[in-house]
Amino acid sequence: PPNVHYDFVVKEANYTKLCSTKSILTVNGSFPGPTITVHKGDTISVTVHNKGRYGLTIHWHGVKQPRNPWSDGPENITQCPIQAGASFTYQVIFSDEEGTLWWHAHSDWTRATVHGAIIILPPRDKSYPFATPYAQQAIIIASWYKADVMAVYDEAVTTGGDPNASDAFTINGQPGALYDCSKGTTYRILVNYGKTYLFRIINAVLNEELFFGIAKHKITVVGTDGEYIKPIITDYIMISPGQTMDVLVTTNQTPSYYYMAASAFADATASFDNTTTTAILQYNASYTPPSTIPSPTLPSYTDREAAENFTSKLRSLASTEHPVCVPKDITTQMFISVSVNQELCPNASCSGPNGTRLSASLNNISFVTPTIDVLQAYYRSLKGHRGKKGSDNEIYTTDFPLKPPYFYNFTGDVGNNTMNPSLGTKVKLINYMEQVEIVFQGTNVMAPENHPMHLHGFSFYLVGTGSGNFNYKTSPKSYNLVDPPKVNTFGVPKNGWATIRFVADNPGVWFMHCHLERHATWGMNTVIIVKNGNGKNSSILPPPDNLPSCSKS
């Protein structure tokens, strides 16, 4: 297969939305950024030329990157940022993925506007596990702030408070008819009558899970996170930040105009964007619009039942061409409690309750991002550099616990007993080819809500979810080991648990975090390091020679 090369020029550009103009960070001047289209198994290179004002990195969300953490992207986890004026070439190695993924900046909140679709077509000699669609189109839903996103981020970080919610959601860059000054620019998808279209839906939103639907049209979901699933016929989908859904839509309604829409599923007390973005599905380019364009009826933002109804239907395709292989002999088991909490504010001027700052943790450890990337520190056995807030002499430590420090009634009224998470850059070392199971336990500390957890370097099986506290005796009885969905991002349910399984077949340094950007900012992160194996092709690839330097500028 050809080794395709892309140039990504990161630069500012002026965009006018919601009646005001501001400068945003873009790739090649476009928002959303360029679509990457490959076939399964291709390798591409992407040179990122940073013509912006700040350092940044790009991540290829859901791309396994076998043995190639060097090109994975999370800032100060697998690389230091590409400084303003510098460039870096990523090798993006596709392997098992087929369907839709996406790329995004992985530095602070720059992913708000720096992102785009990745379309992975079947291998050149193969086809889809469904009738070949007439046409296809990526649908990227994103967050739009009237203010500068970096200012929103900075304010939240400095005050320790909850960041402002976005002012709009956008579909392929446009907020749509329900927002001020936006009607004329509503995004349109032109379709012909009687055809089946493949829409590749990406939730690139910073902080909200979403419901999405199309007026009068059934949606058939055939894939998620770069994997095929058993088709689900539905009126709406629920999609978390980071996730993708491949849906088929047949244009079998009276030729006219129809709205598609997305709005938040936000069953929590945290502030969220409760606006609705729309785009138009337009039959025949020349047709005149009806006086009222029909809108889809989406579940309300607190409709947990609707959300869970949808997610509980996800099943791997489990066909001969797309088999399922769930690890059954678990050799590493972890139990990770997932909490939003508070830490005491260093200068007591923070805007959280009693001068605290909002924080978030896994097993009660709030992750501190080091100043030198974990990958380099691991690969070169670097020591003697201090983390941002750390006090020891290591860039990271390998004592991320297998269990929370103490067990309690996670989903009961737990008061303030995890008020002060400990800070640290604690990572988990795993041997090559271990069969890993991780149980994630949501808690009732602060704001109970879903946490879309994402692991880099792997797709994994989501074998079970449930409400309440995980029970070692009874909960595993509900596991689906036959056709569980294979995903890279999944919701740890509000006041519930979720279990994933994977084989540690990808040596490298892999970030794991909540894909709600405010939770990641607060420390709901850790790193899994898979050690090299002994055999051939079981070690991390050598580093590229043009890695961005970690010296502070």
Residue 454 as a binder of Cu ion (CB under 5 A): the answer is no
Amino acid identity, residue 467?
Answer: S
Nearer to ligand C2O, 101 or 152 (CB): 101
Show the tokens assigned to 356.
């605290």
Residue 298 as a binder of Cu ion (CB under 5 A): the answer is no
Q: Are strands 87-93 and 43-50 parallel, antiparallel or unpaired?
A: antiparallel
Show the tokens assigned to 451.
């946490």
Among 454, 486, 501, 518, binds ligand C2O (CB under 6 A): 454
Show the tokens assigned to 467.
């409400």
> Binding pattern to Cu ion, positions 433-452, x when CB under 5 A?
------------------x-
Q: For the chain, give percent helix, strand, coil, nearest 5.
A: 10, 40, 50
Residue 104 as a binder of ligand C2O (CB under 6 A): the answer is yes
CA distance linking residue 318 with residue 199, whole number of Å: 22
CA distance linking residue 115 with residue 109, whole number of Å: 11
Nearest-approach distance from CB 263 to Cu ion, in angstroms:
19
Q: Which does 514 bind (CB under 5 to 8 A by kind): Cu ion, ligand C2O, none?
A: Cu ion
Q: Which does 516 bind (CB under 5 to 8 A by kind): ligand C2O, Cu ion, none?
A: Cu ion
- Look up residue 478 and give its DSSP letter: G
- Look up residue 195 and give its DSSP letter: -
Residue 10 as a binder of Cu ion (CB under 5 A): the answer is no
Among the residue ranges 13-21, 144-152, 357-365, 507-515, the one whose residues contact ligand C2O (CB under 6 A): 507-515
Nearest-approach distance from CB 451 to Cu ion, in angstroms:
3
> Binding pattern to Cu ion, positions 91-110, x when CB under 5 A?
--------------------
Among 17, 40, 61, 426, binds ligand C2O (CB under 6 A): 61
Site for ligand C2O in 259-318 (CB under 6 A): none
CA distance linking residue 517 with residue 452, whole number of Å: 10
Residue 106 as a binder of ligand C2O (CB under 6 A): the answer is yes
Residue 451 as a binder of ligand C2O (CB under 6 A): the answer is no
Nearest-approach distance from CB 513 to ligand C2O, in angstroms:
6
Distances (CA, A) of 75 to 42, 45, 62, 107: 25, 19, 16, 6
CA distance linking residue 47 with residue 58, whole number of Å: 10
Residue 516 as a binder of Cu ion (CB under 5 A): the answer is yes
Q: Which does 519 bind (CB under 5 to 8 A by kind): ligand C2O, Cu ion, none?
A: Cu ion
Residue 59 as a binder of ligand C2O (CB under 6 A): the answer is yes
Residue 514 as a binder of Cu ion (CB under 5 A): the answer is yes
Among the residue ranges 81-89, 172-180, 442-450, 510-518, the one whose residues contact ligand C2O (CB under 6 A): 510-518
Question: Exposure string (b/e) for 416-448, b if CB count within 10 Å is 16 or more?
Answer: eebbbbebbbbbbebebbbbbbbbbbbbbbbbb
Nearer to ligand C2O, 114 or 446 (CB): 114
CA distance linking residue 112 with residue 313, whole number of Å: 30
Residue 213 as a binder of ligand C2O (CB under 6 A): the answer is no
Nearest-approach distance from CB 522 to Cu ion, in angstroms:
9
Phi, psi of 444 (to 5 degrees): -100, 20
Q: Which does 94 bind (CB under 5 to 8 A by kind): Cu ion, ligand C2O, none?
A: none
Among 242, 327, 387, 464, binds ligand C2O (CB under 6 A): 242
Give the number of residues in contact with ligand C2O, rule: CB under 6 A.
11
Rounded to whole angstroms, the maximal C-alpha distance in the chain is: 68
Among 421, 519, 525, 529, binds Cu ion (CB under 5 A): 519
Q: Which residues, including other chains, have CB under 8 Å from residue 483's CB and lie 6 or more apart?
A: 230, 315, 316, 317, 318, 324
Among 513, 516, 517, 530, binds ligand C2O (CB under 6 A): 513
CA distance linking residue 511 with residue 530, whole number of Å: 11
Show the tokens assigned to 524.
């709901």
Nearer to Cu ion, 428 or 519 (CB): 519
CA distance linking residue 215 with residue 66, whole number of Å: 41
Nearest-approach distance from CB 243 to ligand C2O, in angstroms:
10
Q: Which does 457 bind (CB under 5 to 8 A by kind): Cu ion, ligand C2O, none?
A: none
Under 8 Å between Cβ of 110 and 25: yes
Phi, psi of 468 (to 5 degrees): 75, -160
Under 8 Å between Cβ of 523 and 421: yes
Residue 515 as a binder of Cu ion (CB under 5 A): the answer is no
Q: Which does 299 bind (CB under 5 to 8 A by kind): Cu ion, ligand C2O, none?
A: none
Q: Is the peptide bond before 32 cis (omega within 30 degrees of 0)?
A: yes
Phi, psi of 376 (to 5 degrees): -65, -40
Chain positions contacting ligand C2O, by CB under 6 A: 59, 61, 74, 104, 106, 242, 454, 456, 511, 513, 515
Chain positions contacting Cu ion, by CB under 5 A: 451, 514, 516, 519
